[in-house]
Chains A and B, each alone.
Chain A
Amino acid sequence: MKPASFEYFAPTSVADAVSLLQEHGLEAKLLAGGQSLVPLLNMRLARPTVVIDVNRVDGLSYVREDGDALAIGAMTHQREVERAELVQRVNPLLHAATRLIGHPQIRNRGTVGGSIAHADPAAELPAVALALDAEMHITGPNGEKAVPAADFFVTYLTTTLEPAEMLTEVRVPALPQGTGWSIQEMARRHGDFALAGATVTLSMNGGMCSDARVVLFGVGATPLRVQQAEERLIGERVDAALISEIGREISSSIDEPLADIHATSEYRRNLAGVLTERALVEALGRAA
């Protein structure tokens, strides 16, 4: 379990990192926390000829409040987000989702930007990024741009990032006061990638649902927003009957998820429905 040989760079600025990416194109891989890339390298399942280690790039590790949003540097360790009182206050859903990533050892090394750019469809951060309308700040050869989460995830392990682009910041809008929220997932063991998961935000106004967001993960090629379910919620009194109806609809309507040795596609669909129901119940209980 030793990686194939590669050339190693450790730039200290985003500009240098981007120009290295430009120079080496598809042959290059950015190394952030290394929680996915390093095992892939060691198993020789990934064989980039160039590794650009961005751990020495200054100024990419921070969590700050910026207006109505959290600005999180791409190289911020997940553990830092988890421990930031600011995150817990401004966006408890993001906080809860972060705690579901792996184990403390993994979150000590894993980064927010690394997880989102890696785009594993069973990962928590891409799902909440989509659920919370996060915005990806990207630097490339032509300067900076912002891409909404809804446009960012393309398919398995693939985003709209161009070969010479680098994710530098994730902006996550604050969860408005009174919004109910929940993230539910089913994993074989504590800390494993979810077999399936669901995250819900719910705004209630005078007993009626005024806004809802339902996002599933682990059941498709990207995190999946279920607009059909959101439409069924908005304008309704959310009760047990509606919740179980939505659960059933999700179980029967989502595209057949991939099967693996831990979960058949049928079981994953069931989980998507069950976990959505549980997330709706919890979110409803939290909504003010």
Chain B
Amino acid sequence: MTFEFPKSLDDLPISSPKWVGKPVNRVEDPQLVTGKTEFIDNITLPGMVHCAILHSPHAHARIKSIDMSRAAALLGVVATLTGEDAERWSRPMYTTPQGWGGYVLATDKVRFVGEPVAAVAATSRYIAEDALELIDVEYEPIDPIVDAFSAAQPGSPKVFEEHDDNIMYQRVFTWGEVDESFQKADHVYKESFRWNRVGANPLETFGVISEWDLVDDTLTCRGAFQTASFMAMGRAATFRLPSNKVRFIAQPHGGSFGGKGGGRGTDITLMLSRKAAGRPVKWIEDRMEYLSSGGSQAWDRHYEASIAVNDDGTVTALRVKLLDDMGATAEGFGATGAVKPMASFTGCYAIPNAEYDLTLVATNKLPASPYRGMGPPPHNFVLEQMMDIAARDLGLDPAEMRRRNFIPADQFPYIIASGNEYDSGEYEAALDKVLEMAGYEQLRREQEEARAQGRHVGIGVVSTIEPGVFDWNAYTVIGTQGIGIPEGVTVAIDTMGKITARVGFALEGQGQYTVVTQLLAEYFGVELEDVRVVLADNLSAPPNFGPGGSRLGVAITGAVLGAAQRLTEKLTKVAAKLFEVQPEDVELLDGMLRVKSVPESQLSVANAAAIMLNRSDMLPPDVDPSPQATFAWTAPGRVEPDEQGRVKSYLTAANACHLVMVEVDPDTGQVEILKYYIADDCGTRLNPANVEGMVQGAVAQGVGATLLEEYVYDDDGQLLTASFMDYLLPTIHEVPFPEKAALVTPSPFTPLGAKGAGESAIHTTPAAIMCAINDALLPLGVRAKEVPASPNRLWKLIQGASG
């Protein structure tokens, strides 16, 4: 059966859309705001015990011995666990690239401060933490490898003795005539940049309750899982169990942003449960654990970039060399963040030639995790600085520089140099919109006036792409397999006419349950209250992956529309039999199945479903009495990468244009954001309020990365930012609320024309703020090239200028 998905809201079986495309209130919110949502730490199971994990205090050390006897003897301790157990019962962690990891508990040596070394389960978390102090570990410290450049040198001490060096991955991707373009260019600009380690910080850290049933060897895990089915598959592989014996129940959770990996905590609690005769074992990662040993850290990057530019400002080639410090292992898919920039390598620009020289290096730091945006935000920061550098030198306004390089609106679908295909876009329209909102010319005059008064005011105007809806082929170049599976839903109408949708992803904050509700209410012409979305565990849900890579909104839309269409086909047959016409003579409109030629002959969807369930005498012979349908959606047209890694990986390309005005205080280096405007285009907006929330939250994370957040390690590999005293998340006081405008250029490739919008402004905000800072610093003749642009760093830079 082939499906023709509705390309726009007009194609839905309704006279005029009532729910989809409207900023309806989120169905998730009443539970959330009344404190009723059941997060993992709210759950207590009979016989449950509590896990605490002992973390390595050393960045690099050999483990000489571990003695658990004193801990095991503490009253209330039920089970203890070390690397020996992990070696006996599990496989080493899955890593990408492969072969760069160990067991979930250290065995021969520890490779980062915070690495789990041993664990205990006890009748309370207090006792469990007391027991940690009774574990005797003898370490033999080794010189830590902290600096990425030194680590990448031949002959460097090694994080993994079994490898030749610390290079996890190294490859140069060349797309087009790069050398020639640089030789022929009128101008070549080269610069280096530093993006310091930042990462995801959801409100809720990871948590899990694991049970290992010893009678039939089944595993049951409840937890804050971003991708429950994927996790379940991984556990089956880790513990060599049949995959249908692993049950994962995702709880609603307080955000993830890529930080909810949780593989280690899940495996440790499972093995503790096995040791504790199957008792449920709960582990709630505390914030210090999250910051020092969880999914908190990403993107620790050293960049060199160059661009080839003609006199008229057109960019003919881009070269980016990245040394990405991955930390101690390649667990948790952090490395995919270095590859994703290939999905939008040349941004919004028609740059025909490009080269990516990529090195991933191991050091004795926390392994890098995914983080919202999944890698392009630092790349965009680099690309946009380069565009500004060229614009300044050529005497072009930064907005004009971009305008001259945009992919024209009539060129879509457009395949960029690195191989990904952009579905649609009107980049110039977004730029024009932002310039108009900001009153750009007036703003430039204000800037001139401020400069005349000796104030350091700057404006940044940047445009970026948000690749959306990743698929299995996006990360195969670094050896990742099996990511990007279909997203499914089962839609059922009961005998009372109420609709239930069963999905495989838990509440995480993005509002997809609302989107599912809107779509079904719209399709079947009912009220939002008539639809309920429920979560199924991995064994009972249709194929699913969950949120990630700005995919779920689009993917679940496809799934819902597919299931609704399948269900409608059954209902149509029922109505046709009743009205004694052929099924093709019946259509669904506004919740009624009606005979096309005799619209008065109509049957409600609810009645059709009730007939199916209750009146076997009225059931057509080829229809089973089940008003249910399942559909799993996946992106069409995905193929393997070519020899240069070129691949159509992400189905959609949303775009945004940000304009920021800042003032830098030269005496303190403090940056103040004065004005902020955003125009963004993610195609059809299924729920505009959801999208706006995504943009606003991503602005906050972008401000954090640009001005505040940084994981700092000292020369011994000790983390100096293990609490929120020192890892500075932006608060409401630091986050601007930009004026926002929406453009709508539907995607021709997706159901209803929606594009992935979940990562949003984090792709753009750091680039925009840094461009504004550098515009402010222009009269001083200095340029900031490192984020976060902390007051101390900027002050020092300014001191260098005047001194």
Separation of A283 and B791 alpha carbons in the complex (Å): 25
Q: Which residues of B contact A195 (CB under 8 A)?
A: 791
Q: Is the CB of A263 within 8 A of B792?
A: yes
A1 (CB) vs chain B CBs: closest residue: B286
Q: Is the CB of A189 within 8 A of B728?
A: yes
Q: Is the CB of A2 within 8 A of B790?
A: no
Interface string of B128-155 (1 = CB under 8 A from A): 0110010000000000000000000000
Separation of A263 and B728 alpha carbons in the complex (Å): 14
Q: Is the CB of A186 within 8 A of B668?
A: yes
CB distance from B288 to the nearest CB of A (A): 6
| In the complex, chain A residues 1-37 whose Cβ is within 8 Å of any chain B Cβ | 1-5
Q: Which residues of A contact B287 (CB under 8 A)?
A: 1
Q: Is the CB of B668 within 8 A of A262?
A: no
Q: Of A189, A193, A262, which contacts B731 at CB under 8 A? A: A189
Q: Which residues of A contact B795 (CB under 8 A)?
A: 267, 270
**Interface residue? B689 (CB, 8 A):** no
Q: Is the CB of A186 within 8 A of B791?
A: yes
B132 (CB) vs chain A CBs: closest residue: A44
**Interface residue? A224 (CB, 8 A):** no
**Interface residue? A271 (CB, 8 A):** yes
Separation of A264 and B364 alpha carbons in the complex (Å): 25
Q: Is the CB of A188 within 8 A of B708?
A: yes
Interface string of A255-268 (1 = CB under 8 A from B): 00000011110010
Separation of A214 and B669 alpha carbons in the complex (Å): 23
**Interface residue? A274 (CB, 8 A):** yes
Q: Is the CB of B731 within 8 A of A188?
A: no
Q: Which residues of A contact B730 (CB under 8 A)?
A: 189
Separation of A31 and B733 alpha carbons in the complex (Å): 30
CB-CB under 8 A for A5 and B130, given A188-B708, A188-B728, A261-B726? yes
CB distance from A260 to the nearest CB of B (A): 8
**Interface residue? B358 (CB, 8 A):** no
Chain B interface SS verdict (over half): loop
Separation of A175 and B720 alpha carbons in the complex (Å): 41
**Interface residue? B721 (CB, 8 A):** yes
Q: Which residues of A contact B790 (CB under 8 A)?
A: 188, 262
Q: Which residues of B contact A270 (CB under 8 A)?
A: 667-668, 795
| In the complex, chain A residues 79-111 whose Cβ is within 8 Å of any chain B Cβ | 103
**Interface residue? B125 (CB, 8 A):** yes
B799 (CB) vs chain A CBs: closest residue: A270
B286 (CB) vs chain A CBs: closest residue: A1
Q: Is the CB of B723 within 8 A of A271?
A: no
Separation of A122 and B733 alpha carbons in the complex (Å): 21
Q: Which residues of B contact A263 (CB under 8 A)?
A: 792
**Interface residue? A190 (CB, 8 A):** yes
CB-CB under 8 A for A190 and B733, given A43-B288, A43-B723? yes
Q: Which residues of A contact B667 (CB under 8 A)?
A: 270, 274
Interface string of B718-735 (1 = CB under 8 A from A): 001101011010110110
CB distance from B520 to the nearest CB of A (A): 41
CB distance from B128 to the nearest CB of A (A): 8
Q: Is the CB of B670 within 8 A of A186?
A: yes
CB distance from A163 to the nearest CB of B (A): 25
Q: Which residues of B contact A3 (CB under 8 A)?
A: 126
Q: Which residues of B contact A2 (CB under 8 A)?
A: 125-126, 129
Chain A interface SS verdict (over half): loop
A196 (CB) vs chain B CBs: closest residue: B668
Q: Which residues of A contact B670 (CB under 8 A)?
A: 186
B669 (CB) vs chain A CBs: closest residue: A267
| In the complex, chain B residues 721-775 whose Cβ is within 8 Å of any chain A Cβ | 721, 723, 725-726, 728, 730-731, 733-734
| In the complex, chain A residues 179-201 whose Cβ is within 8 Å of any chain B Cβ | 186, 188-193, 195
Separation of A71 and B125 alpha carbons in the complex (Å): 43
Q: Is the CB of B720 within 8 A of A261?
A: yes
Q: Which residues of B contact A186 (CB under 8 A)?
A: 668, 670, 791
Q: Is the CB of A189 within 8 A of B288?
A: no
Q: Is the CB of B130 within 8 A of A190?
A: no
Q: Is the CB of A261 within 8 A of B712?
A: yes
Q: Which residues of A contact B668 (CB under 8 A)?
A: 186, 270-271, 274
Number of B residues near A (Cβ < 8 Å) is 30
| In the complex, chain B residues 102-127 whose Cβ is within 8 Å of any chain A Cβ | 125-126
Separation of A43 and B287 alpha carbons in the complex (Å): 10
Q: Which residues of B contact A264 (CB under 8 A)?
A: 792, 796
Separation of A190 and B795 alpha carbons in the complex (Å): 19
| In the complex, chain B residues 789-803 whose Cβ is within 8 Å of any chain A Cβ | 790-792, 795-796
Separation of A112 and B734 alpha carbons in the complex (Å): 27
Q: Which residues of A contact B792 (CB under 8 A)?
A: 262-264, 267
Separation of A191 and B733 alpha carbons in the complex (Å): 9
A259 (CB) vs chain B CBs: closest residue: B792
A43 (CB) vs chain B CBs: closest residue: B288
Q: Which residues of B contact A274 (CB under 8 A)?
A: 667-668
Q: Is the CB of B130 within 8 A of A4?
A: yes
Size range of the chain A interface in the assembly: 20 to 34
Separation of A12 and B723 alpha carbons in the complex (Å): 34
Q: Which residues of A contact B133 (CB under 8 A)?
A: 4
Separation of A3 and B126 alpha carbons in the complex (Å): 7
Q: Which residues of A contact B126 (CB under 8 A)?
A: 2-3, 5
CB distance from B301 to the nearest CB of A (A): 19
| In the complex, chain B residues 635-672 whose Cβ is within 8 Å of any chain A Cβ | 667-670
Q: Which residues of B contact A192 (CB under 8 A)?
A: 728
CB distance from A1 to the nearest CB of B (A): 4
CB distance from A249 to the nearest CB of B (A): 16
| In the complex, chain A residues 184-223 whose Cβ is within 8 Å of any chain B Cβ | 186, 188-193, 195
Q: Which residues of B contact A191 (CB under 8 A)?
A: 731, 733
Q: Which of B287, B721, B723, B795 has the most CB of A within 10 A?
A: B795
Separation of A39 and B668 alpha carbons in the complex (Å): 30
Q: Which residues of B contact A1 (CB under 8 A)?
A: 286-288
Q: Which residues of B contact A267 (CB under 8 A)?
A: 669, 791-792, 795-796
| In the complex, chain B residues 62-93 whose Cβ is within 8 Å of any chain A Cβ | none
Separation of A16 and B731 alpha carbons in the complex (Å): 41
Interface string of B681-721 (1 = CB under 8 A from A): 00000000000000000000000000010101000000011
Q: Is the CB of A261 within 8 A of B708?
A: no
B727 (CB) vs chain A CBs: closest residue: A261
Q: Which residues of B contact A189 (CB under 8 A)?
A: 708, 728, 730-731, 733-734
Interface string of A220-240 (1 = CB under 8 A from B): 000000000000000000000
Q: Which of B129, B288, B668, B796 has the most CB of A within 10 A?
A: B668
CB distance from B261 to the nearest CB of A (A): 20
Q: Which residues of A contact B723 (CB under 8 A)?
A: 39, 43
Q: Which residues of A contact B712 (CB under 8 A)?
A: 261
B712 (CB) vs chain A CBs: closest residue: A261
Q: Which residues of A contact B720 (CB under 8 A)?
A: 261
B126 (CB) vs chain A CBs: closest residue: A2
Separation of A23 and B126 alpha carbons in the complex (Å): 27
Separation of A204 and B796 alpha carbons in the complex (Å): 36
Separation of A264 and B710 alpha carbons in the complex (Å): 16
CB distance from A95 to the nearest CB of B (A): 20
Q: Of A39, A103, A188, which contacts B791 at CB under 8 A? A: A188
A190 (CB) vs chain B CBs: closest residue: B733
Q: Which residues of B contact A190 (CB under 8 A)?
A: 731, 733-734
Interface string of A148-191 (1 = CB under 8 A from B): 00000000000000000000000000000000000000101111
Q: Which residues of B contact A44 (CB under 8 A)?
A: 129
Q: Which residues of A contact B669 (CB under 8 A)?
A: 267
CB distance from A182 to the nearest CB of B (A): 16
Q: Which of B287, B791, B792 has the most CB of A within 10 A?
A: B792
- 5 A/B residue pairs, CB under 8 Å, sorted by A: A2-B125, A188-B791, A189-B708, A189-B734, A274-B668
CB-based closest 8 A-B pairs? A190-B733, A1-B286, A274-B667, A267-B792, A2-B126, A2-B129, A261-B712, A261-B720
Question: Given A188-B728, A189-B708, A190-B734, list of 18 further CB < 8 A pairs?
Answer: A2-B125, A2-B126, A4-B130, A5-B130, A39-B723, A103-B731, A186-B791, A188-B790, A189-B734, A190-B733, A261-B710, A261-B720, A262-B792, A263-B792, A264-B792, A267-B669, A270-B667, A274-B668
